[in-house]
Amino acid sequence: MPEGPELHLASRFVNLACRGLVFCGAVEKSPVSRNPEVPFESSAYCISATARGKELRLTLSPLPGAQPAREPLALVFRFGMTGSFQLAPAEALPPHAHLRFYTASHAPRLALCFVDIRRFGRWDLGGEWQPDRGPCVLLEYEQFRENVLRNLADKAFNRPICEALLDQRFFNGIGNYLRAEILFRLRIPPFEKARTVLEDLLHHRLSPELTLSQKIRAKLQNPDLLELCHLVPKEVVQLVSSPSTSAGWVPASHRRQRLWARSWGGRLRCLPSLAAVLQCAGDELLAGPEWPHHLVSGGSWTPGPKRHQGLSKTFLR
């Protein structure tokens, strides 16, 4: 499922792929999509994108002299399970292209497509970010940190930390594979109460005697949970190769394999007790090549006398 880094990469892809392209005509929606029609038509317009957490804003801006004269239109996309953007020849559209923007050139004519196999993705007109989503963990770190620590009295933090990390009001951009990596790196028991984990950060202050460079070094060497919510997504963006691939983001299975094989060196994994949460939630459990002893090779869960037999399988997709 696309998370914050994937939305960020998708926005980079759109900006790179559409740089210098002129689009024209009406926006075309597939008849099977339940999303709203996009009432936009222009003889010449350009497309740009920005991302925030798990949302992406696409802006359609008419060029000077374009007809009919009109204001730019913005749409906000949420990718659901399988959403992505692709730039393809207009005569060979990819399957499941549910929204299409056509270029003016006829040699060859191209289409920027929002592709969504499972059709869980959504777009809204108007360009407004969802008001119940917090600051982006990737691009708005200071606001994100302040928002979490200021609202620790919220009942969301009564839940286990592994559940609270998916609350987009506070952790906008964090999803399944990111929370697994963050909790593992800090060796935080996933069922620990979220407020208990985070309250310690209210009182954590570096010594005023440290120089600025020493403070920066200390933060990089020993990041806390909120800092990792920012740093791990940045690692993902840096690890993924050129964003100018045909799709705006790398498919999840390929991305995870690449992460294990490259700079993380097979360290993408989570605490074993997180398996129960992921299984009960119906999510995939990320299994890397290095696992605790009771996960045998091949990803099978080794049930103990107190473990539920229903949690006997881990998903490696």
Cβ-based burial of 168 (10 A; exposed 0-12, middle 13-18, buried ≥19): middle
- 213 and 103 fall within a common domain: no
Q: Are residues 153 and 36 in the same domain?
A: no
Task: Report yes or no on 70 lying in a domain.
Answer: yes
* pLDDT greater than 70 at residue 160: yes
Q: How large is the average pLDDT for residues 145-172?
A: 96
Confidence of residue 212 (pLDDT cuts 50, 70, 90): low
Residue at a domain's end among 95, 125, 155: 125
pLDDT given for residue 228 in this prediction: 96
Asked whether residue 106 carries a pLDDT value surpassing 70, the answer given is yes
| Position 283 pLDDT exceeds 60 | no
Question: Do 112 and 148 share a domain, yes or no?
Answer: no
> 109 lies in a domain?
yes
pLDDT for residue 34 is more than 50: yes
Tell me, yes or no, whether 300 and 159 share the same domain: yes
On whether residue 317 sits in a domain, the answer given is no
Handedness of CA 96, 102, 106, 107 (dihedral sign): negative
How far apart are the C-alpha atoms of 65 and 69, rounded to whole Å?
7
Return the closest-CA partner of residue 25 out of 121, 145, 109, 144. 109
Q: Are 168 and 133 within 8 A, CB to CB? A: yes
Asked, for residue 135, whether it belongs to a domain, the answer is: no
Q: Do the Cβ atoms of 14 and 243 come closer than 8 Å?
A: no
Assign residue 196 the CATH number of its domain.
1.10.8.50
Number of structural domains the chain divides into: 2
Region 243-251: what's the mean pLDDT? 44
Last residue of a domain, one of 125, 158, 179: 125
Q: CB atoms < 10 A from the CB of 221, how many?
A: 7
Looking at the structure, tell me whether residues 39 and 181 fall in a common domain: no
pLDDT number for residue 218: 58
Give the C-alpha separation, 185 to 205, whole Å: 21
Could you tell me if 171 and 288 lie in one domain? Answer: yes
Exposed, middle or buried, 317 (CB in 10 Å: 0-12/13-18/19+)? exposed
Tell me: do 304 and 176 sit in the same domain. yes
My answer on whether 111 and 146 are in the same domain is no
CA distance 46 to 23: 6
CATH number at residue 30: 3.20.190.10
Domain range for 71: 4-125
Helix, coil or strand: residue 278: helix
Are 27 and 149 part of one and the same domain? Answer: no
> Which pTM was predicted?
0.76
More confident of the two residues 243 and 139: 139
Distance CA 277, CA 283 (A): 8
Q: Do 8 and 54 share a domain, yes or no?
A: yes
139: pLDDT strictly greater than 90: yes
Nearest Cα to Cα of residue 287 among 257, 261, 316, 311? 316
- Out of 3, 140, 181, 284, which one is annotated catalytic? 3
Give the mean pLDDT of 285-291.
Answer: 40
Q: Give the largest CA-CA distance in the chain.
A: 74
Looking at residue 285, its pLDDT comes to 40
Active site residue 2: yes
Is residue 68 pLDDT above 90, yes or no? yes
Summarize the confidence of residues 50-64 as an average pLDDT. Answer: 97
- Helix 4-17 to helix 225-239 angle, to the nearest 10 degrees? 40
Residue entry with tokens 């790398």: 250
272 compared with 119, residue with greater pLDDT: 119
**Statement: residue 253 has pLDDT above 60:** no
- What average pLDDT does the chain have? 79
* Catalytic-role residue among 6, 28, 31, 54: 54
Give the whole-angstrom CA distance, residue 280 versus residue 263. Answer: 31
Question: Rounded mean pLDDT of 15-44?
Answer: 95
Q: What tokens were used for 221?
A: 């060497």
Does 248 reside within a domain?
yes
What does the pLDDT average to over 102-117?
92
Q: Are residues 116 and 167 in the same domain?
A: no
Residue 170 included in any domain: yes
130 falls within a domain = no
From the CB of residue 282, how many other CB atoms can be counted at a distance below 10 Å? 7
Last residue of a domain, one of 84, 99, 125: 125
Q: What's 157's DSSP letter?
A: G
Q: Are residues 163 and 285 in the same domain?
A: yes
Is 54 a known active-site residue?
A: yes
User: Tokens 């929370």, residue?
Assistant: 179
